[in-house]
Structure 1
Amino acid sequence: MKLNFFPFNMFGDLTRFAARMTKAARINMQRSIRLQLIFTFSVCVAATMLTYSISNSFLRQFNQTATIQYNTSDIENTGRELADFIRWNDRTAQDLQEYINEPRFGDQYKIMFIDPEGRVIFKNSKVTETQVDVHSLVRNAMDRSNYGVWTKGKEVTSFYPVEVQGQKGYMVISGVPEPYLSYYYSDSSLAMFAAAAAFIFLFYWMTKRKMRYIEELAQGLMEISRGNLNYRVEQRSKDELGTLASHINHMTEELQRTIEEERRAERTKNELITNVSHDLRTPLTLIMGYLRLLKDKNFENEQQAETYMNIAFSKSEKLKGLIDDLFDYTKLSNHDIRMHQEKVCLNELLEQLSEELVGYAEENELKLRRILPPEKLMVTIDADKMIRVFENLLTNAVKYSLKPGVVTVAMTRENDHVRVCVTNFGDPIAKEELPKLFDRFYRVDASRSSASGGTGLGLAIAKSIVDAHNGEIWAESEESEIRFCVKLKLA
């Protein structure tokens, strides 16, 4: 099996991999202030080191110190050369004498060959001694200053053990090292100052935009704290500061919404007090009026007295109904009513309820039509509360329908939900009025006369019950066709 190697493909893969890693690193850095600070600090440290290196290399030439040193390498090299000449060339004493008498040696160094007892066997012209103390020679040869630095005039001695024509001894070389001038450069404190200044400037410049953004967030919080809830901070980044800006805006929106809800609740409370006072006062005034007539016996006969009594009783029932509705709505709004939910067949519940209201519809010259699927659709509900919802929708449909006419109850399945719609034909309702129908005490008719409708709490109570079942309720209007729909989740 032949394998083809494509270096360009490998280079392309490595390039694409490097591009992906670079892109991922850039994205992660954009999302993390910690990584941004690490990158900023690394860049500042690298710039600081570069600044120090450049500035110190320029400034240190002004901080040079000259010292005199002595080079001993020539003496040691010469001694090693003589030892090798004897060791590898098997020279005679005469050859060695001629070699050490060469001008290049004689003019600079003292060279001699001594036996183990210190007697000088042969030497060059600069040597005057005939006997040498070997012990002192070794001690003086090893007595060197640190780092090879010699004082002027001090003689350096180097010796090597050799054998010349079978005679063992030492080749000794002595001389004064040549002095030379050496310069030492010390680091400049100005370079350290320049490096520190570069770090501070670069770090300040690279973090300036972030610090300005933090100041903007702080100013935004101050503006919001003054009560300007319409103020929004700008989200300029994807990191933690951007997340903070988003949370500040969300907090402001929630605070604004809460305050508006509190104001709306205050207005609603005032409207509630006004409306309740109006709706309670009207029947109560009539009750008190007819009871006063009965108390003062201001009637012509017993039949008229009974009529007054019936009217007062009817208004008392209506007053009780208003108080009950108000009490139920308040409890539902505050979630004080516990729902006793159970699995119920919604087909059978609607069939039974509509059958009970057939007579009421016929009394109002209406026909009640039911469109229910053959499939039994089960829902988990509080049956008594849900009966009240559909009963309210059906009685409203009968009450506000054009006579004669038809009221339709239709139920359809929508995936895992069931929708029930009550349809009737009546006066058209503007689209902007439809959501307000579920507000308490709201009537499409501007008149607040109880004769034109009920208490104004029926649809508000229905919505509270449906919401408690996690369902939906809404109204639709197309010309004179009006629909109220309820959507519940199937069990």
Structure 2
Amino acid sequence: MKNRTRIWLIMLISIVISLILFVWLSTLSSELWNNGYDLNELNAISQEILSATEQQNTYDKNEVQPIMDHFHIHHPALRFEWISSDGTTLYDTYGETHNYSFEQLADRIINMPNNLWGEDKPITLAYSANKNGQPYYLLLSLSSDAMKQGQMYFFVRTFKALYFWALPLLLSFFVPYFLALWLFSSVNRRIGKLNQALNQVNIRSDVIVLDDKSKDEIGQLTRHYNSMVQRIRRQADEIDQFETGRRLLLSNLSHDLRTPLTMILGYAETIHTGLYNDENELRTSSKIILQRSRYMDKLLDQLLDISRLDGDSLEIHLAPHNLSEMMRKIAADYMLFLDGQSFAIEVDIPDGDVQAVIDASLVERAIRNLMDNAIRYGKEGHFLGIGLVEEDDVVCITVKDKGRGVAPEDHKLIFERFYRVDGGRKGEGLGIGLSIVKEIVESHQGHIQLMSTPYVETLFLVSLPKNQ
């Protein structure tokens, strides 16, 4: 059953139950807390007395007295008086005798029935009877305490009068239900939109954002839905990006491995068959085999790095280390490596010790990755610089070159995994070196910056806290 149909049924059932409860509770509460006589009961008692006297066919005192005494016994709070047309009391259940004047009678019944529930004077109702043209009067009296505490009467002369009070009564009953129906319809409509949007959530489809600024539970649920689908969309984009990177990785890896492997096989076959001319050619062939093998070993290390990063297994072991000494050793290694390659090397490392709490192996790996990147992509500038600066709470490591540099639009992307700036760098690594550097730096609660002016200076600045 749909919610709209259920709401209609609940509303109709509620109306019927409300009417039944209203009648039943009104009757019950009247019997429990609204004791006493009302006007209808007094009129009924009076009519019974008049009917009984008419059946006697006489209105004499001796005939009327038993009838009035009988009703007085059953209704001791009521006083009955039988009055002749000249105001003489023929019988009074209180045993009193009066000769009422018109003024006295008028004072007793004036402003009735408006004074039925007054507190200052007794209540008197007058009824008439006629015998052979001779009028008689029945006076019924009681105190205001003997009346019910609350009564309401509708005097209807024609059915047209029903329209004047039936419409307000119906509106008073139906307006709350129609308001509730409007509320439920609004809630149902909002839930329907949310349900429809949830049914269309898909990693490959566009995100449906719902606009619901209300502060109720459905509004909160809608905002949670918006946050959820946006997270799903971002995660889907990241998955697509990783998948693209993996495909590119396989393509680059096949290209990067095929060329050195072909060279290794060719020179190895030359050595194996003895087709080299002299010892110099033999040493040259073995040197090329060694270089290409080391290059392939480096590629395999990068693949291992990828698997470690995917498994979030980058473990850090912090300890105090002499950072300046470590960097001097790294600079010496690269000076030896670049000897004879027309590279200008600038080293700016303090002579004194610079202590920092770091994972020495990871930081050394990050610095070497930056220097390899500078040599590989900045070789046109024939310059390599490495520096260390100690400040109050941080140490700053710089690696710079004067090569082609990085365009401003690529500064943020350069640290993403598998990203390469342009097609000219294909076949030169897997595009994960800088992403590993960023991972290591951020794991030390540091940050890395890139500043680049093509063929002037490309600078990588790594800032690490001295104490973790």
> TM-score normalized by structure 2?
0.62
- Give the alignment of 1:285-296 within 5 angstroms: 285-296=262-273
Q: Which residue of 2 aligns with 1:268?
A: 245
Partner of 2:139: 178
Contact 1:229 1:252 in 2 (8 A): no
Q: Could you say what secondary structure the match of 2:423 adopts?
A: coil
Aligned to 2:232: 255
Q: Secondary structure at the match of 1:421?
A: strand
- Post-superposition offset of 1:326: 1.9
Q: 1:157 aligns with which of 70, 86, 93?
A: 93
Query: Judging changes above 3 Å, is the alpha-carbon distance between structure 1 residues 372 and 435 closer, same or farther for their aligned structure 2 residues?
Result: farther
User: Is the CA contact 1:344–1:378 (under 8 Å) kept in the aligned structure 2?
Assistant: yes
Alpha-carbon distance, 1:248 to partner: 0.8
> Deviations for 1:278-307, whole angstroms, at most 9, x for unmatched residues?
111111111111222233333334543343
Q: Distance in 1 between matches of 2:231 and 2:61?
A: 107
- Equivalent in the alignment of 1:88: none
Cα offset, 1:247, TM superposition: 0.9
User: Is the counterpart of residue 411 in structure 1 residue 372 in structure 2?
Assistant: no
For 1:238, the equivalent position in structure 2 comes to: 215
The residue aligned with 1:486 is 462
Question: How far is the alpha carbon of 1:387 from its aligned partner?
Answer: 0.5
Q: Secondary structure, in 3 states, of the residue corresponding to 1:269?
A: helix
Relative to structure 1, is the Cα distance of residues 263 and 303 closer, same or farther in structure 2, using a 3 angstrom cutoff? Answer: same
Which region of structure 1 is more displaced relative to structure 2, 220-229 or 363-372?
Answer: 220-229
Flag the 1:235–1:486 CA change in 2: closer, same or farther, 3 A. farther
CA 227–301 in structure 1, closer or farther in 2 if over 3 Å, else same: closer
TM-aligned CA deviation for residue 359 of structure 1: 4.0
Matched to 2:457, the amino acid is: E
Q: Out of 399, 405, 408, which is 1:431 matched to?
A: 408
Aligned with 1:396 (options 363, 373, 386): 373
Residue 411 of structure 2 aligns to a residue whose secondary structure is helix
The structure-2 alpha-carbon separation of the partners of 1:405 and 1:207, relative to structure 1 and needing over 3 Å to count, comes to same
The residue matched to 1:318 in structure 2 has which SS? helix
Task: Give the Å deviation of 1:398.
Answer: 4.4
Distance apart, 1:273 and its partner CA:
1.2
- 1:411 is paired with a residue of what secondary structure? strand
Distance 2:196 2:256 in 1: 51
Which residue does the alignment assign to 2:87?
Answer: none
| Aligned positions, number | 351
Residue 321 in structure 1 maps to residue 298 in structure 2: yes
Contact 1:435–1:474 (Cα < 8 Å) also in 2: no
2: CA distance, partners of 1:440 / 1:68: 100
Q: CA deviation at 1:337?
A: 4.0
- How far does residue 376 in structure 1 lie from its aligned partner after superposition? 4.3
Paired residues of 1:385 and 1:465 also in contact (CA < 8 A):
yes
**Shift in alpha-carbon separation, 1:343–1:303, aligned structure 2, 3 A:** closer
> Does structure 1 retain, via aligned residues, the 8 Å contact 2:203–2:232?
no
Secondary structure of the 1:185 match is coil
Q: Which has the higher contact order (CA 8 A, sep 6+)?
A: 1
Q: Give the TM-score normalised by the residue count of structure 1.
A: 0.59
Structure 1 gaps of 5+ residues are 1-44, 53-63, 72-125, 129-135, 161-174
Q: In the TM superposition, what whole-angstrom CA distance separates every residue of 1:191-242 from its partner, at most 9, and x where no partner exists?
A: 7654321221233345554443333333332343696432100022133222
Matches of 2:328 and 2:235 in 1, distance apart?
43
In 2: Cα distance, 1:226 partner to 1:352 partner: 50
Of 212, 215, 227, the residue aligned with 2:192 is 215
Q: Closer, same or farther in 2 for the Cα pair 1:395/1:197, shift >3 Å?
A: closer
Q: In the alignment, is the contact (CA less than 8 A) between 2:249 and 2:430 conserved in 1? A: no
User: Residues 372 and 252 from structure 1, CA distance in 2 versus in 1: closer, same or farther, beyond 3 angstroms?
Assistant: farther
Contact kept? 1:402, 1:426, Cα under 8 Å: yes
Partner of 2:345: 367
| CA deviation map 1:343-391 (0-9, x unaligned) | 3343443344334444445644313231559794523x21111111112
User: Which protein has the larger Cα radius of gyration, Structure 1 or Structure 2?
Assistant: 1
Tell me which residue corresponds to 1:145: 75
Query: How far apart in 2 are the matches of 1:193 and 1:210?
Result: 26
- Percent identity between the two aligned chains: 25
Secondary structure at the counterpart of residue 338 of structure 1: coil
Conservation of the 8 A alpha-carbon contact between 2:257 and 2:296: yes
Point out where structure 2 has 5 or more consecutive residues left out of the alignment.
1-14, 23-38, 48-59, 84-89, 97-135, 142-146, 156-161
Q: Whole-Å Cα distance in 1 between the matches of residues 290 and 332 of structure 2? A: 29
State the partner residue of 1:474.
Answer: 449
Return closer, same or farther for 1:287/1:353 CA change in 2, 3 Å cut-off: closer
